[in-house]
Amino acid sequence: MTDATLDSVAAQLLRRTAAFECFRTTSRNISVGFEAGKLKAAQTSERGGVGLRVVVGGRVAVGGTPDLTAVQATIDSAVEAAAYGDPFGFAFAPASPAPPVDVFDPAVAKLTPADLVAVGRQAVEQLADLGAGATVGVSVDAGVATRGFANSVGQRYDYTATHYSLSISVEFFGHDDIFNVWESAEGVRADADLAAMIAAVRRKFRDARDVVPVGQPKQAIVLTPTALTQFLWPLASGLNGQSVADGVSPLADKRGGPPILPESLTLIDDSTLAGRPGSQPFDDEGVPAQRTVLIDRGRVTNFLLDLRNGAKLGLPSTASAGRGLTSPPSPSLSNVLLAPGDVPLDKLIGGVADGLLIETLLGVGQGNVAAGDYANPIGLAYKIRAGQVVGRVKNCSIAGNIYEDLKKVTAIEDRGHWEGYACLPHVRIDGLELAVE
C-alpha cells in the first residue's frame, strides 16, 4: 500500500462529501512461540487496509476494508450509508504538527524470525533446570507498522512505528496443584532485560511452590503492577469520555470538583513517551499526541476524549481516539502512569504483618463496572507474614467498589514498573473484602 492510495481516496472524498477522514495502515509482524520448551511456531504475517469516515447531508458514516481491490466499493457504500447515519455534531481535527515522539527503532525493523527464535531458545535453556512438572513457554513478537491519515480540513500525517514484546511463562502441574507464573516486557525497542526477566520468573516460581492458608477475611493487600492494572479497570471505565457523555459514569459531575480519592493518587495518560508501546505522534483522528492528567492528587481533572464525545461535553479532544478499519473512533488509553509514592518496595512488603501480595486477578470487567464495582477471583497471590513472602494462596477472591476501596490506600511504592502500556508502582490497600472458598 502506498501514499498514492490514501491521496487518491482523499481526492475522491473531497469531491463527493461535505467532510471526511481517511486513513491507511500496513503492518508486518513476526511471531515466535515455544510451548513446553519446544519451538511450536515461527511465522510472519502482513496486514493492511483503508478506513474512512464521511459526512454527507449533515450525517456521518464509517467504512473500511483490508482489500485494496475493494476500496472503491467501500467509498460508495459509506457515502450511501451516510443518509442513515447519526447527525454530525463536531469538527474534524485541523492541520497541526505533532510533538516529537520516538516510536521507531531501525534495529527492530531488521529482525528476522531466526533472531526471535534465538531469544526464545535462550530463555528456555536458562529455565530448563526447574524440575519435573514445570513447563516453559516463551513468545517473542516484533513488527513494523505504518499509518497515514488525511481529512477534509488539511490534516495529513504519515508515521512508521516498531513494536517488540517478550513473554516468559512457567506452568507447573503437580499431583493436586497447578499454577502459572510469568514475566513480560513490551516497547518500541528490543531492549527487554532477559536476565532480569529470568530471575523474576525463578523468584515467582520458587515462592509459588508451597501452598499456605489464606488467613483472615480482612488483611493488608499489596497489589503488584500487573494486578493493579486489572484492579483499576472500573476507574478507567469511569474516566472514559464515552461513558461520561452517555451519562453512565459516576465521575460525570466530578471534573474540577473536590478530591474524591486520596491526595496520594495521580493518574496520567501520556501518548508522547519515548519508546513506549502506547505512544504515537497523532491519535486516530489526527489530533497531536499529548499528556493528559486524569486525576490530580485525588481530583478528577479530565476524561479520555475523542472529538465526538469531547464535543458532546463541550471539551477538547485529549488525543485519545482509537479506531479499527471498520469501526468509528472511540476514547482509549495510551500509556497509563500512576504517580509513585515514597515507600521502597522492600519496606512496603516488610511492613505487612499479615497480608497478601496479589500478582494477578481473573475475570476483569465482572460486576457493575459502570458504578465502579468489581468482583475478581485471584489468579496468583502470595502470603505475607511478618514482612516475608512465605508461600502461595489458593481459592480466594476480592470484591468491592473501586471508588471506595482506593480510599483505603495506605502506601505506594517509590517507583513505577512498566507492565505493557502501564507504568505503575506496587500499592498497599488495607481492609479489602477477601472471600475464601
Q: Are residues 230 and 346 in the same domain?
A: yes
Q: Where are the alpha helices (DSSP H) in 82-218?
A: 106-109, 113-126, 194-208
Q: Do both 177 and 32 map to the same domain?
A: yes
Last residue of a domain, one of 149, 178, 203: 203
Tens of pLDDT, residue by residue over 323-356, are: 999 999 999 999 999 999 999 999 999 999 999 9
For 8-27, how does the pLDDT look when each residue is reduced to its tens digit (9 = 90+)? 999 999 999 999 999 999 99
Q: In terms of domains, do 143 and 10 share one?
A: yes
Picking from 203, 233, 265, the residue at the C-terminal end of a domain is 203
Report yes or no on whether pTM surpasses 0.85: yes
Give the end of a domain, one of 203, 231, 259: 203
* 140 and 249 share one domain: no
The band of 53, judged by pLDDT with boundaries at 50, 70 and 90, is very high
> Which tops the pLDDT comparison, 177 or 209?
209
- 79 φ, ψ (degrees, to nearest 5): -60, -40
Using pLDDT thresholds of 50, 70 and 90, give the confidence band for residue 364: confident
Grade residue 1 by pLDDT with cuts at 50, 70 and 90.
Answer: very low
CA-based nearest residue to 22, from 159, 147, 196? 147
Q: How many domains does the chain have?
A: 2
CA distances for 150 relative to 7, 11, 22, 294, angstroms: 8, 10, 6, 29
The rounded distance, in Å, linking the Cα atoms of 141 and 31 is 5
Report d(CA 204, CA 382) in Å as an integer.
9
Q: Which domain holds residue 132?
A: 3-203
Asked if 312 and 356 sit in the same domain, the reply is: yes
One domain for residues 376 and 270? yes
Do residue 359 and residue 379 come from a single domain? yes
182 lies in the same domain as 300: no
**321 shares its domain with 220:** yes
Mean pLDDT of the chain: 95
Q: What integer pLDDT is reported at residue 4 of this predicted model?
A: 67
Q: What is the mean pLDDT of residues 60-72?
A: 95
Q: Does 195 lie in the same domain as 227?
A: no
H or E stretch covering 170? strand 156-173
Same domain, 175 and 220: no
Q: Is residue 208 part of a domain?
A: no
| CATH value at residue 83 | 3.30.2290.10
